[in-house]
Amino acid sequence: MQIKKDLALTNKLLSQGLVSSRDPETGFRYILCATCPKDGGDGTVARIDRKDNEVERVLFCCSICGQEFAAKPEDIFLT
């Protein structure tokens, strides 16, 4: 798994209403992920709140505890 921390790309995706991006060079599809603040588990996209085609909030679901949580763009990474 490739992990990519890129705030500019994250903000660009959110402003375009997207939660994933394909790398044109490798064909690898990156998707937004975040670390659970409760137990450090990997969180995958569970729900998306949009307004005017922009993502306002992404809720992630922890793979360990199963709880949903929100993350700020600076705490989001792509994997």
Q: How far apart are the first and last CA of the chain?
A: 7
Structural domain spans, the chain: 7-78
- For residue 4, give Cα distances in angstroms to 19, 39, 53: 14, 21, 24
Q: What is the pLDDT of residue 3?
A: 86
CA dihedral 70, 62, 6, 15 (to 10 degrees): -40
Separation CA 18–CA 23 (nearest Å)? 14
Predicted confidence band at 2 (pLDDT cuts at 50, 70, 90)?
Answer: confident
Q: Which CATH number fits domain 7-78: 2.30.30, 2.60.120, 3.40.50, 1.10.357?
A: 2.30.30
**What confidence tens digit (pLDDT) does each residue in 3-36 have?**
889 999 999 999 999 999 998 999 999 999 999 9
With a cut of 80, say whether residue 1 has pLDDT above it.
Answer: no
